[in-house]
Structures are given as C-alpha cells and as structure tokens.
Structure 1
Amino acid sequence: MTATADDGLPLAGTLTLPTGPGPHPAVLLLHGSGQVDRDSNARGLRLELGPPLAAALAEAGIAALRYDRRGVGATPGTWRTTGFADTARDAAAALRALAARPEVREDAVGVVGHSEGAVHAMSLGSDPLVRAVVLLAGYARLGEDALRWQARSVVGELPAPVRPLLRRLGNRHLDRIKATTVDAARVHGLPVNTRWFREMLAHDPRAVLRDVDVPVLAITGGKDVQVDPADLAEIRRLVPGDVEVHQIPDLTHLLRRDPGRPSVRSYRRLLRRPVDAELLAQVTGWLAHRLR
C-alpha cells in the first residue's frame, strides 16, 4: 500500500494482513536510522526485522504496515536532505493511512518502533489513533547525550592507545555538524545529512514520554552497545500510565542474542541469525492483549 505524506510524497510500503475476515487490529512498524527500507535494511546492514515481525503479528491476528523511507526503495525523495522531523511527520502520516484502511480496526491501532523508530513511536504515543506503543531499544535522554553514550560505548571496545584520538576526532566531527546551516554537507570529506543530525541531537524524547497516555512496552537488550539499557528506568519513571519495561540478558541492538562480549564487531556474525524468537513472541503477545 501507499501512504501519502504531508507534502504529497507517496510512502511505499507493505500491509501484511492476518488470514480470515477483518477488520483487524493493526500496528505501524518504525525502523532505525539511516537509509532504511521497509524491512529495516540499509546498504551494508541488513537487519531484516520487518518480515519476521509482520509474520509473527499476522499469526497473532494483527495486521502490520511497514514502509520505505524517503529516497529509499520504492519511495521517492532524497534521503540525504530528509530531517529527523520529516521522518516523524511521515510516521504520523503512515499511521493515519493505516487507521483509515477498511481492513483495519480504527479503535485498535498500535505502534512498534526500533531504535530511532522507537523515539518516533514515543511521539505518537499521545496520538488519538494509537492504543498501544512498543519501544525496542529506545533511548530516553537528549539526542546528543544518547549519541555520545553510543560513541563512548563503541570506542571503549577499541585498543586503549587509539581511544583518545578517536574521541577528539568524534568531538570535532560533531562540532562541525552542529555548526552547519544547510541540509547536507561534507564534513571532514564525508557526505552527511546535517539537517537530520542537528534535529536529532536537539530532540529530547523525555518531553513526549510524559504525554503518552496508552500502555507502553519497552524492551532493551542487556548487550546493547548503541542504547543505554539504563534508559528503561527513565521510561518507566516518565510514562504516566501503564508501562512495562524489560532488560533482556544477551539481547543486542540487532535484536539477536549474543552470549559473548558485546561489540559492534560481532554484528556481521549476528545478522546471519534470525531475530530472537522469544522477543517476537513477547511483543506479539503483549500487543494481542492490548489491541483485542
């Protein structure tokens, strides 16, 4: 199906329906950052989250919509100049399109977000169309603070002699990005979506978490090196209503389990495995109960 963004751009996606007559409960799937398609795949990092999650939801009687971001897959546009706020508005437009489908129960619509998608799902938690929110590896601090935590976590895996140099380079790179005023620029020779970065760095999800008035399920892996699992406590503190948080041992940011030392260097190996089946069952079971 196609959802129409606020500026008229068609967001190309896939609506997966359960077997049997509708209308069905439904969820909008929102994926992580970057040039990501409807299946949560980017060049060089194929997460393949969309298909197994949509299939598990359909098995539980829940429809699911996932879509290609601007300038990715079958969605036109230019990813390099698409801002963080643009992505949030596109998510809201996709939510409206999903709720308007005749196969969908308008009174039983939820949102599932992973990583950046979880941050946009938080913003949709106060939308009158939304009845439940699932946050997978979502952070609950200022965007710049979240990015700096991630950088420290990743750099901390490297040999001690190179860490100070990389930290200085990273700080310089970030300062350059924050000083830009254009949508896209070359920063230290690399093409960067500077608009997205500036908006993400300034976004504080804590403000929107206080406005969420539907049930929330928040899950972060104990082996996540991109999002601090400690933010689960902040989500629980800020959401005023029904909130359930879980830190799953050995679960990584890729939603696969790894019993070894957490590291981004294990990502290629982990991506040969399927998305964690227990996680899929937990998410779909929780949603089936909340959207019945």
Structure 2
Amino acid sequence: MAEFPLTVPGDPALAGTLTLPDSPGPVPAVLLAPGSGPLDRDSDHRRMRLGVTRDLAHALAAAGLASLRYDKRGVGGSPGDWRRAGLSDNADDLVRALGALAARPEVDGGRVVLAGHSEGALLATMAAARGARVAGVVLLAGSATPGDELLRWQARQIAPTLPAPVRGVLWLLRADLERKVAANHERLRATTTDVARVGGARVNARWHRDFLAYDPRGDLARIAVPVLAVTGGKDLQVPAADLDTIAATVPAPVTTLRVPDLTHTLRRQPGPASLRAYRGELARPVDGEVLDAVTSWCRTVTGLDRVPAA
C-alpha cells in the first residue's frame, strides 16, 4: 500500500489522500465520504476519532482497490468554513472529488465506487441520483428517512440511554426531549443565515435547513447502479429498518446487511445500545465484518474478482 497527497481542485480546494494498492494500475477505486460535522479525511473529529474512512481505505488497498478520502471544508488541510456549507455544497464537493479521483492515471475511471458513512451515505445517494458515472454505491449507516423525522426518531432512541441524573433533570423540568428537538427545528427553519445561534451555540443553520427538508427516498429512486447498504442493529442515529426502504426504493440491484450489535460508529457494542459507550468502541478499528463486506462487494461490482488478485 502507498499513500500520496491529492488536492481536489475547485472553490474551495479540498486536501485529500490517495491510497493505492500494491498492484499495477490502472485499478478500480472507491471515493470515501465521511459523516456530518467537521470531520477530516480519516473521519476524525478533534473530540472523537472515528477513523471510518481511514480503516476503509486501508482495507480496500489490501483488497486491490485504490481510494480517495478528503478533508471537508474548513477542516484539516481544506480551507473554508464548515459551518457555512449546506448539504448540497457537501454533495457538490463529493462530485468534484469523484472527478479528481477518476482522472488519476493510476485509477480506472470507469470502475469507481462511491462509499459514504452517515451524512456521507446521503451525499453518495445525492451524487448517484444526479447521474454520476460510478460502478456502484455503498451506504454505511445511510438513512432513507426524511431529515426532520430522522432527528425526532433519534431523540426517542437517545432519551432512554442518557445518564440517570440527566433523565432526572428532564423529568423535573417536565421536558420532553423529542418536543425540544422539534422546537429547535422550527427555530432553524426560520433562520436565513448560514450560521445561527440555537440554545446559545453557533450552529450550521444552512446545513440544518437543507437536512430537515431532505427526503432521501426521492434520490434513492433515481440510483441506476448496484447498491450495498449496511446498518447496525444498535444504531441510535439511523433506523436499521431503513435497509428495507432502501431495498424497496432503489430500482437497481441492492444488497443489504444488518449487523447485530453494530452501532453508528461501525463497531459492536455489548449490552443495551448507548451513546455513552462510543468512546470505548473507538479504541477498536471498524468492525471486520463490515470491512469484509465492503471490500468483497466492491471487488465484485468493479469486476476485480474476474481478474486474479496480484
């Protein structure tokens, strides 16, 4: 495996890493899109190192596939301000990155797969629906639920997992977490600026307006290439039942995988699902079953399995 810096041209330019396998090119490739918020090319946040796209890149290289992962706007080596980027801006960035990857001489531009985790799965859905020239799409913890409904669903899942003192305070205040989330949605919908203050915090209001209004099912219905969708049975941020919606909505062939005990971090968690266990999970790499499923599917959909591995 070898890794090189790669800059995605455009405004703003995006800093990334091209990872190549130890096999002669041009080879098939996978464009990796991280989740929401200020994540770098490895899917790392300054407070939480997810490492999803890094682990995927290294697993793909071992399986004979190249990959590109990149820093989002205003993160790592990419200029800009992530708080001012809407969901559609992030999708535009993914399409630009796809062009940069497909143009590389080491890469077979006709055999490129889009793969995204969480928000990245939505971006991959949006790009594929626009007609991006790809061989397939991988949706890791990807939603098929409208944004406003999804955030209310998350509140219902997360509330019982909060620490007892927090639940006690909410009870004393007669506070309904889902209702508070819905109220914040209305405040965000009423904003007109890229950045706004909600609950005393500066948030990316433009992204939230886009997300609240976005229904992935419309774009899923326009995907014309094979899809692999993977979600965990203990995901508190995306319903595992959305796998059935994806399979029923995408007109092209769909392979779904629901992994028991897997959380939104793509690691396994024993016991009741809880956000509090995330930090412990992140000391481990991405789940091996997930990595094997993605690499095997990508090899098949790009035709690499028809060629003897180097």
Corresponding position of 2:100: 97
- Contact 2:191–2:205 (Cα < 8 Å) also in 1: yes
Partner of 2:135, secondary structure, is strand
CA contact (8 A) 1:36 1:72 kept: yes
- For the residue of structure 2 that corresponds to 1:212, the secondary structure is coil
Tell me which residue corresponds to 1:22: 25
Whether 1:3 aligns to 2:14 is no
Give the corresponding residue for 1:116.
119
Three-state SS of the structure 2 residue aligned to 1:156 is: helix
Q: Does residue 194 of structure 1 match 2:205?
A: yes
Q: TM-score, normalised by structure 1?
A: 0.96
The 8 Å contact of residues 99 and 129 in structure 1, kept in 2 or not, is answered as no
Match of 1:133 in 2: 137
Q: Which runs of 4+ in 1 moved over 6 A?
A: none
Which runs of structure 2 are paired with 1:121-270 in the superposition (5 Å)? 121-126=124-129, 127-158=131-162, 159=164, 161=168, 162=170, 165=175, 166-270=177-281
Aligned to 1:290: 301
Conserved 8 A contact 1:221-1:250: yes
SS in 1 for 2:182: helix
2:33 and 2:53 in contact (8 A); partners too: no
Letter in 2 for 1:218: A
CA distance in structure 2 between the aligned counterparts of 1:157 and 1:52, rounded to whole angstroms? 28
Matched AA of 1:227: V
* 2:90 partner amino acid: T
Specify every segment of 5 or more residues in structure 2 that has no aligned partner in the other structure, as ranges.
1-5, 304-310
Gaps of 5+ in 1: none
Give the C-alpha shift of residue 120 in structure 1. Answer: 0.9
Q: Find the counterpart in structure 2 of residue 83 from structure 1.
A: 86
- What's the offset of the Cα at 1:15? 0.4
Deviation for aligned residue 1:133: 0.6
Opposite residue 208 of structure 2, the aligned amino acid is F
8 Å CA contact 1:70–1:78 kept in 2: the answer is: yes
| Partner Cα distance (1:155, 1:43) in 2 | 25
Larger displacement relative to structure 2 (142-151 or 61-70): 142-151
Given that residues 35 and 120 in structure 2 are in contact (C-alpha distance below 8 angstroms), is that contact kept between their aligned partners in structure 1?
yes
Partner deviation per Cα, 1:97-120 (whole Å, 9 max, x = no partner): 111111110110001110000011
CA shift, 1:170, in A, is 2.4
1:40 and 2:51 matched: no
Report deviation, 1:168.
3.7
CA contact (8 A) 1:70 1:79 kept: yes
Whole-Å separation in 1 of the counterparts to 2:147 and 2:9 = 28
In 1, Cα distance between equivalents of 2:160 and 2:152: 12
Given that 1:215 and 1:242 are in contact with CA atoms closer than 8 Å, whether structure 2 keeps it comes out as yes
Aligned length: 290
Looking at structure 2, the residues matched to 291 and 106 of structure 1 have their Cα atoms a distance apart, in angstroms, of 11
Alpha-carbon distance between aligned partners in 2 of 1:107 and 1:281, rounded to the nearest angstrom: 23
Q: What is the one-letter code of the residue matched to 1:71?
A: G
Does structure 1 conserve the Cα–Cα contact (< 8 Å) formed by 2:20 and 2:61? yes
